Amino acid sequence: MQRNTRRVLSRAGTLVVTLGLMSGSAAVAQDKPTSENPSNIPPSRVIAGRPLHSPPKMNAADARKSVNAFITWAGESVVEEQSTARRALASAAKQPELVQAFMEEILAAHESGDTSRALVGLGLLGEMRTYDGAKFLVEFVRKPLPTKGTVIEGELQEEAQQARLQAKAIAGVAYLRNEEFDREVAYQAGNHPSVIVRAEAISAYLWNRGDSLEARKALEPFVRKEERLYLDRVRRVTGEGADAFNRKLTAYLKAHPEVQAPDPVRKDPRPPEEKPNTFDETPPKF
């Protein structure tokens, strides 16, 4: 439980406020790799070489193609371009053809196994704040999780991967700030089979209500008893200094010591016979 809790806190922290996923995510939404060898051009030079604030235009007449290009652009965008992306998305949200194209692009990326692109698409659709988009996100959150695949350190990778996408989707549902969809967020906060999604639902519900005490009280009955520590989770807000945040974090860890990693324990020195990679003879002089 403690290890899982720390893992969820770490992951959810990367999801909570990146509703558009444009923040500093460079080159994560390429259609498909076209080279067998990695590029020797550092990402910083790639970003520096692209013109800022020049997203591809989205138009209803060529919805799939233009949305496809926009998702690629968003995946390569930087923090300074967030306002530009949001203006483009606000305009696109008024055109049902474009909203539908975002849904189709997300499903195509998900079905092809392109998780990064699906993640970007889900973030953008949530940012658009449309009723139809939120309905799609709810359906996405409700998709059954995989039950077979690769297990690493006791975690089914396919299941965790889809849960991360569904966490992004539930954040978009909460971002609509609609009473009907808020009930879905509250329900998923206590009933989704993945703790990754439950934790994100809690965080998104609270964030969209200013982390108010009233929001916490409204959500608490839906949250599993053993997971109510997520209601207290701290977040660093815009303009907050390190000292102020550290005070909040210290208070949180004091209230919930179970989420702290155990102190490292120094092991006894290994005997020479247990060091197969250690030379047992003095090397000759050169």
What is the C-alpha separation between 191 and 280, in angstroms, rounded? 59
Backbone phi and psi for residue 253, each to the nearest 5 degrees, phi listed first: -65, -30
Distance of CA 159 to the CA centre of its chain: 15
Report the alpha-carbon distance of residue 203 to residue 230 in Å, rounded. 7
What is the model's pLDDT at position 169? 98
> 259-285 burial by CB neighbour count: b if 16+ within 10 A, else e?
beeeeeeeeeeeeeeeeeeeeeeeeee
- Of 2-11, 33-42, 200-209, 234-243, least confident by mean pLDDT is 2-11
Q: How far is CA 122 from CA 74, 155, 165, in A?
A: 12, 24, 8
Percentage of the chain exceeding pLDDT 70: 84
For 35-49, 187-201, 212-226, which range has the lowest pLDDT when averaged over its residues?
35-49
CB atoms within 10 A of CB 121: 30
Q: Is the pLDDT of residue 39 over 50?
A: yes
**Cα–chain center distance at 100:** 22
- Check residue 13 and give its pLDDT: 42
Helix, strand, coil in percent for the chain, rounding step 5: 60, 0, 35
Look at residue 20 in the predicted model and tell me its pLDDT.
40
pLDDT at 103: 98
Confidence of residue 82 (pLDDT cuts 50, 70, 90): very high
Tens-digit pLDDT profile for residues 165-183: 999 999 999 999 999 999 9
109-132 pLDDT, tens per residue? 999 999 999 999 999 999 999 999
The label of the residue with tokens 């639902």 reads 201
Most confident option among 6-10, 16-20, 169-173: 169-173
Phi and psi at 42, nearest 5°, equal -65, 150
Over residues 28-39, the mean pLDDT reads 56
Instruction: Tell me the pLDDT band of 21, cut-offs 50, 70 and 90.
Output: very low
36 band by pLDDT with thresholds 50, 70 and 90 = low
Distance between CA atoms of residues 8 and 198, nearest Å: 10
Half-sphere exposure of 84 (CA within 13 A, CB side): 17
Task: Find the mean pLDDT for residues 186-211.
Answer: 97
Task: Please tell me what DSSP assigns to residue 67.
Answer: H
C-beta pairs of 188-195 under 8 Å, 24+ apart in sequence: 188/141, 189/219, 189/222, 189/223, 190/222, 190/223, 190/224, 192/141, 192/166, 193/145, 194/145, 194/159, 194/160, 194/163, 194/166, 194/167, 195/4, 195/8, 195/227
The band of 29, judged by pLDDT with boundaries at 50, 70 and 90, is very low
- What is the residue-averaged pLDDT of the chain? 87
The kind and range of the H/E element at 156 are strand 155-156
Q: Where are the domains of the chain?
A: 54-128, 145-249
Phi-psi region of 129 (alpha: psi -120 to 50; beta: other; left: phi over 0): left
Burial state string for 129-143 with b = 16 or more CB within 10 A and e = fewer than 16: bbeebbbbbbebbee
Is residue 31 predicted with pLDDT exceeding 90?
no
- Answering whether pTM is above 0.75, one says yes
Write down the pLDDT at residue 63: 98
